[in-house]
Structure 1
Amino acid sequence: MKILDRYILISFLRTFISVFLILFFVFILQGVWLFISDLAGKDLDAASILKFMVFFMPSIVPMALPLSILLASIMTFGNLSENYEFAAMKSAGVSLQRAMRSLMVFIFLLSGLAFLFANNVIPYSQYRFLNFKSNIAQVKPAMAISEGQFSEIGSFNIKVDKKSGEKGNDLTGVTIHKSSQNSISNTTVIKAKRGKLLSSENSNTLQLALYDGIQYEDIIPKKYEERQKLPFTKTSFKQYNINIDLTKLNKVDVNEASINNSSAMLTIGELNYALDSLRKDISKEKKSFADNIKYKAKQDLVKMPDTLNKSSASPKVSASLKVFDKLTDVEKIRILDNALGTVSSIQFSISGSSDEFSYKQKNINSHWLSIFDKFVIAYACILMFFIGAPLGAIIRKGGFGLPIVFAILIFIIFHFTNTFGKKIAQEDGIPPFLGSWLSSIILTPLALSLTYRATNDTGLINFDGINSFFQRIFQKKSAN
């Protein structure tokens, strides 16, 4: 490696590592803020919180890495131009492409590592993260009662306005919604002015004493017409004790993995295998649904003569317009009513099944997006370098001033269009390929244009061309 290549590479690496660590730390703080409700109030030890953050960290890389490359490229080549080092290189016959050669090798290697990271490390971390996040929500539920929000503990949803006392056992403004495994059973709502937790943290039973409250319980009558009145019972109490069994909840292992059906947890090979099964399933279900609709319509047509009090018309003749005109008005009305009922039934079936098919299609789109995302991450590293390096050479500014402004604007465009495209593709508005690559398709011409302008020293905006355009206009007006 020549001295020039080594110098540029070391300058870039110093800036890149510093920027990446800063952005990585910022995104970690953002993650802590987003998931603070999953960590606070669970009485988790430091090791569990550390595991939570470690499982979350790999998901930060797809955002931090491209932005770090973009900002480091702008700053590195901006410093070279600002200190006239790049001008000295050009005077010695070193072009922009030659100066970028060592960095291009590094960026291509980094993009390959980013692809491997996205295909292997991120799916595994998401697998562990989602399961860990699901399990810690059930750890020590006696400590999970938070102020101002409902906390699910077993079959109870508990909300308190304020917690007080040395251990937070004194509750004020308690609202409890009691759910039931049987969907037709009564629904119970309990409201109390005060409450107190009487059990210890290590107990398998959560004892909750409520004071000065009212219990509302819905009643479902046997007669359907009476259900529309929505009857309920109201019971007042001075003290009411509730025992919540925590045996099953306290046996939750935060390291146990039970969620394994998310597309974010799968590698490309696993995603292709899952897609093959999903496409076959939805194809079979659509064909089966269409056959059922045809069979139902055919059966209703066959049964149509029976609804006409055993009319002499055969199924084939009854469907013809000539025989239909010979029928009486009463028979015509009955046939039309029967046909209308058949059409309404088919429409209801289609409407009910469309949501199910839409959900399954969204699941397929999600798998496709997960596949394309792994390639987009790798390409984004290359794209951001070919935007940042020529842009830094053009603006001729290093440091954390102007380069940060340009980097943030470009990355906002990239991130917004990427999120927007994937959202539309998820809803089946556009193909998943286009949704995943939309941001790259938009910014690739910008990278090519900046590279061309930096190579030919035309600047960010060709003011000479603009001036000559307006000069020609004014000359024509003055000539007239």
Structure 2
Amino acid sequence: MRILDRYLLSRFLYNFFSSFAILMLIFVFQTIWLFIDDLAGRGLDVMIILKFLFYIMPNLMEKVLPLTVLLASILTFGSIAENYEFAAMKASGISLQRSMRPLIIFVCILGVVVFYFANSVIPASEQKIYNLRKNIGQVKPSTAIVEGAFSDLEGTNMNMKVDRKYGDNDRFLENVIIHRKSDNSINNTVIKAKTGELVSSEGSDILKLVLRDGHYYEDITKKKSTENRKYPFAKSSFEIYTINQDISKLDVNLEEDRSVTTDKMKNVMRLIKDADSIKKNNLIIVETFSKSIYNRAGAFAILSKKDSLDNANFKPLSKDALLLQKAMFDTLNIVSLYPEYQKSQILNAAKNTTTNILASIRSKKDELDKRYKIYNMHIVSLHKKFALGLSCIVLFFVGAPLGAIIRKGGLGVPMVVAILLFLTYYFIGVFSENYAKDGNMSPIIGAWTSTLIMLPLGVFLTKRATEDKGLISFGVVIDLFKNGFKKLMPSRK
């Protein structure tokens, strides 16, 4: 490796790793701020919080790595151009493309590494986050209970208030009040106890709540309103009362609920296989439903051979006879053939059948929209893994020539330019992915939109930097206006 290549590579790597560390720290603090309500005041151990942040870091790589490449390339080439090192290179016959060669090789290798990271590490981290959330709910169920306020226990029919939690894993409770809801979501049961204890074992989905020295109150609803006056409620006291509750859904809501089969937890091979299966299942469901609607409508029913008129011999009718026959068999005229008391019955039956079919179609449409959204999410996740690796290469070709053009080093102007470009890239990607998941555009295009938009910008900037031109040539713009005015204004002799 030549001295120049080694020098440029060392400068770029220094900016790359320093920018990566700073940006990762910023995004980690942003994550803490977003989940501060879930992490603070829950009695979580420091190790659990650190594990959560460690497992969430691979997901942040999707944002940090492209921004790091963009910022590092702008910093490196902006500092070199500012110190007139590019001028010395060009005087020695070294072009911009030649100076970028070692960094291009590095960025291409980085793109392959990023693809492997997106294909293997990020799905594993998603799985770890899911397991961590589930274990928090099973091993430490008291995290879902807040002191001094009623807490709805997700996945159960209860909400609970305690004055104080103490002991190992906050398992002991003081002054417990429980409201239990009925099937129609009415608080018809109140349980109060002086003390309580949460008992659960790792790997179990059952939480045992042992209450001591308390009272039990329940509203009893009778079928007849007159009986409610005789027995309006049941009341009792207890020394020990045990409640067994399913806590499979009782976890800390650190992130929205995810299934273990979500698209973000799958690699490329699994995504291809599952997307193909989902597509086939959707087509089968659509075909089956269309046949069901066809049969329910009763139109164009296939007649049996004995009812078929294909083999019947008819004499050809005249034109007037055909028009008369057509008028006779008009729908309303057919209804008029029936007695008056049957007309309304026929029309009401047809109306009810049509209404039921339309209701079924609307209901099935919502189900199919969800199924096709899942399919689109699989396709988007599949192509995003490839687009993420290519985006690092494209953003390098945006940042390197841009740094050579603006000729500014440090963290001032380069940081502002890099953030503006990255926000443009990021928000275009977010909007296009959301449109693609909803079926408003192709999921393949939605996954590649932001990268494809940045690609011509990289080509344009590289061409401008190679020709040693500025970002915008105001002289060219002024000349365009001058030529336009000359054509509009009449020439004076």
Whole-Å Cα distance in 2 between the matches of residues 127 and 165 of structure 1? 31
The reply on whether 1:127 has 2:138 as its aligned counterpart is no
The reply on whether 1:269 has 2:269 as its aligned counterpart is yes
Deviation at 1:43, TM superposition (A): 4.7
Residue in 1 that maps onto 2:19:
19
What secondary structure is seen at the aligned counterpart in 1 of 2:159?
A: strand
The reply on whether 1:337 has 2:327 as its aligned counterpart is no
Alignment of 1:454-465 (within 5 A): 454-465=465-476
Residue in 2 that maps onto 1:150:
151
Whole-Å Cα distance in 2 between the matches of residues 128 and 33 of structure 1? 21
Alignment of 1:315-464 (within 5 A): 323-464=334-475
Whole-Å Cα distance in 2 between the matches of residues 402 and 234 of structure 1? 73
Whole-Å Cα distance in 1 between the matches of residues 4 and 474 of structure 2? 33
Aligned partners of 1:126 and 1:264 also within 8 Å: yes
Whole-Å Cα distance in 1 between the matches of residues 224 and 375 of structure 2? 43
Letter in 1 for 2:209: L
Letter in 1 for 2:197: S
Residue in 2 that maps onto 1:311:
none
Letter in 1 for 2:471: L
233-242 or 360-369, which moves further after superposition? 233-242
Deviation at 1:473, TM superposition (A): 5.6
Aligned partners of 2:180 and 2:190 also within 8 Å: no
Deviation at 1:297, TM superposition (A): 2.0
Residue 335 and residue 84 in structure 1: after superposition, are their counterparts in 2 closer, same or farther (change >3 A)? Answer: same
* Structure 1 length-normalised TM: 0.81
423-432 or 390-399, which moves further after superposition? 423-432
Letter in 1 for 2:141: P
What secondary structure is seen at the aligned counterpart in 1 of 2:431?
A: helix
Which runs of no fewer than 5 residues in structure 1 stay unpaired? 227-231, 253-257, 303-316
Whole-Å Cα distance in 2 between the matches of residues 166 and 367 of structure 1? 45
Deviation at 1:10, TM superposition (A): 0.7
Residue in 2 that maps onto 1:141:
141
Which runs of no fewer than 5 residues in structure 2 stay unpaired? 202-206, 252-257, 303-327
Deviation at 1:134, TM superposition (A): 2.9
195-204 or 435-444, which moves further after superposition? 195-204
Deviation at 1:154, TM superposition (A): 7.2
Residue 81 and residue 151 in structure 1: after superposition, are their counterparts in 2 closer, same or farther (change >3 A)? Answer: same
Aligned partners of 1:126 and 1:265 also within 8 Å: yes
Letter in 2 for 1:123: P
What secondary structure is seen at the aligned counterpart in 1 of 2:282?
A: helix
Deviation at 1:234, TM superposition (A): 7.3
State the number of aligned residues: 447
Instruction: Report the aligned-residue RMSD.
Output: 3.9
Residue in 2 that maps onto 1:245:
244
Letter in 1 for 2:130: L
Letter in 2 for 1:152: L
Deviation at 1:443, TM superposition (A): 2.0
Aligned partners of 1:38 and 1:133 also within 8 Å: no
Whole-Å Cα distance in 2 between the matches of residues 251 and 67 of structure 1? 37
Residue in 2 that maps onto 1:314:
none
Alignment of 1:73-152 (within 5 A): 73-147=73-147, 150-152=151-153
Deviation at 1:391, TM superposition (A): 0.7
Aligned partners of 1:140 and 1:250 also within 8 Å: no
Residue in 2 that maps onto 1:229:
none
Whole-Å Cα distance in 2 between the matches of residues 5 and 344 of structure 1? 74
Residue 331 and residue 249 in structure 1: after superposition, are their counterparts in 2 closer, same or farther (change >3 A)? Answer: closer
Alignment of 1:140-289 (within 5 A): 140-147=140-147, 150-152=151-153, 155-158=156-159, 160=161, 163-164=163-164, 176-179=178-181, 183=183, 187-188=186-187, 196-199=194-197, 205-207=208-210, 217=219, 219=221, 221=223, 243-245=242-244, 259-289=259-289
Deviation at 1:449, TM superposition (A): 1.4
Whole-Å Cα distance in 1 between the matches of residues 283 and 330 of structure 2? 32
What secondary structure is seen at the aligned counterpart in 2 of 1:198?
A: strand
What secondary structure is seen at the aligned counterpart in 2 of 1:206?
A: strand
Deviation at 1:326, TM superposition (A): 2.7
